[in-house]
Amino acid sequence: MSGHSKWNNIQGRKNAQDAKRGKIFQRLSREIYMAAKSGGPDPDANPQLRLMIDKARAANMPKDNIKRALDKSTGSDGANYEEITYEGYGPGGVAVMVEALTDNRNRTASAVRADFTRNGGNLGETGSVSFMFDRKGYIAIAREGLDVDEDQMFEDVINAGGEDLQTSDDVFEIYTDPKDFATVRDELQKKYELDTAELTMIPQNYVPIPEDKVEQFERLIDRLEDEDDVSEVYHSGELPD
């Protein structure tokens, strides 16, 4: 791990994400649809679907929305979605990865390319930045009100099957192999309240964003996240304090 806290970027964007809750539900519905379509509608027999449903519940997505997404996986709406990843660079040379779920590749590619171009970035070829990221399970446990020291948390993380623990004054950050993520999450949930638990892309190195590029960079990320077809946006940018 690079030693940089992913937690800072998460907290810095939390309010903006809360304001987009309706679009978040829309994206989660598509992710549930895809997981159920590829692995079946039974979460007990489909680990990926179980992860997506857990993610939806963590976002306080209504049960009816989850049920509708599962019902659609039977093909009742006639839509066929596919997963696409776009890669490029944002202002300041920051690597950016965009995961999309779409039923129209041309529409989505055009929108993502325009967002990069209009906000100081460049859309690249497949593989142009993905080698700079690692797929990881990520779990964050806030330390406020928690009477646990680093040694005890490290022992619990290792016993649960986690790979790495990073500690700051505010948070414990746990990283896992993707295939072990659900097991580690479930074990830690028995003892702790988890503030964040997700599969994500972690940059191998973070790039400090120059002060004069911060506004442009944040506008790029906002525009990408606002796209209906975009599920996740990952970047290697380190925002100033």
Domain assignment of residue 77, yes or no: no
Task: Tell me: do 197 and 146 sit in the same domain.
Answer: yes
Q: For 87-141, write each residue's pLDDT tens digit.
A: 999 999 999 999 998 889 999 999 999 999 999 999 999 999 999 999 999 999 9
Predicted local confidence at residue 26, as pLDDT: 80
145 and 186 both lie in a single domain: yes
Query: Looking at the structure, do residues 52 and 170 belong to the same domain, yes or no?
Result: no
* Domain range enclosing 144: 134-202
Q: Quick one: 61 and 157 in the same domain?
A: no
* Average pLDDT, rounded, for the chain: 88
Predicted model pTM? 0.77
Q: Where is the domain boundary, 47, 72, 97?
A: 72
Residues 5 and 171 sit within 8 Å (Cβ to Cβ): yes
The domain spanning residue 49 has which CATH number? 1.10.10.200
CATH of the domain at 153: 3.30.70.980
Same domain, 140 and 35: no
Query: Is 1 within a domain?
Result: no
DSSP string for 57-116:
HHTT--HHHHHHHHHHTTTTT----EEEEEEEEEGGGEEEEEEEEES-HHHHHHHHHHHH
Distance CA 96, CA 88 (A): 5
Residues 15 and 99 in one domain: no
- 101 lies in the same domain as 143: no
- Indicate whether 117 and 224 sit together in one domain: yes
| Same-domain status, 193 and 174 | yes
Q: Which two tokens stand for residue 235?
A: 């970047």
Tell me whether residue 183 is in a domain: yes
156 and 116 in a common domain: no
Asked which of 50-59, 149-158, 216-225 is least confident by mean pLDDT, the reply is 50-59
CA distance from start to end of the chain: 21
pLDDT tens figures, 29-60? 888 888 888 788 888 888 888 888 988 888 88
Do both 66 and 89 map to the same domain?
Answer: no
Flag whether 211 is in a domain.
yes
The number of folded domains in the chain is 3
The reply to whether 125 falls in a domain is: yes
Q: Which residue has the tokens 């948070």?
A: 171
Q: Indicate if the alpha-carbon torsion angle 13, 16, 19, 24 is positive or negative.
A: negative
b/e burial code for range 174-208 (CB count within 10 A of at least 16 → b):
bbbeeeebbbbbebbeeebeebbbbbbbbbeebbe
User: Are 61 and 101 members of one domain?
Assistant: no
100 CB burial (10 A radius; 0-12, 13-18, 19+): buried
